Amino acid sequence: MAAALLDTNLLFASASARDEYHDRSRKIIRGIDHGELPEAIVTNYVVAETLNLTGEKLSPDAANQMLDRLIEGAHFEIVHAPKADFNAAQAIFRRYGELSFVDATIAAFMEREEIEYLYSFDDDFDALDNLTRLDTADNPFN
């Protein structure tokens, strides 16, 4: 299965019309919804961060809509990152000061699962050699 991970900032931007990346994020989400882009994996860490941010910055209703979209979307898969990712994330977090701990868990998950692609607007991920950050609605598997 061709898959890519999604970062919090992409999901939040898709919900916030005021976000500078709103239009680009909507194109990516639409591409995933229509099967034109890889299957989207969202870790439990990203779900929690996204829902908290969306509820706080937009509204509880917007957070519930986001949760529904992730649960009901045919091309979205929510995965629970295992303790091994939490453990590996600690070293990544300590080594790369620009990454949040959630970002470090994403990197650890991607490394363990051998997934190369991440849809994100956060250029802090560019410090990592073992992943490719995508910020447009392009399918890297085409």
E strands along 80-137, which residues? 117-119, 132-134
Residue 136 CB coordination number (10 Å): 9
How far is Cα of residue 62 from the mean position of the Cα atoms in its chain? 17
pLDDT in tens, 42-60: 999 999 999 999 999 999 9
Provide the edge-to-edge strand list for the sheet that holds 117-119.
76-79, 39-43, 3-6, 117-119, 132-134
Ranges of each domain in the chain? 3-134
Residue-wise pLDDT tens digits, 80-125: 999 999 999 999 999 999 999 999 999 999 999 999 999 999 999 9
Assess contact for 119 and 131: CB atoms under 8 A.
no
Task: Tell me the C-alpha to C-alpha distance, in Å, between residue 137 and each of 20, 32, 62, 123.
Answer: 16, 9, 23, 16
Q: 3-134: what CATH class?
A: alpha beta
Distance CA 76, CA 16 (A): 19
Q: In this predicted model, what pLDDT tens digit does every residue of 13-37 receive, in sequence order?
A: 999 999 999 999 999 999 999 999 9
Do β-strands 39-43 and 3-6 pair in parallel, antiparallel, or remain unpaired? parallel
Specify the pTM: 0.96
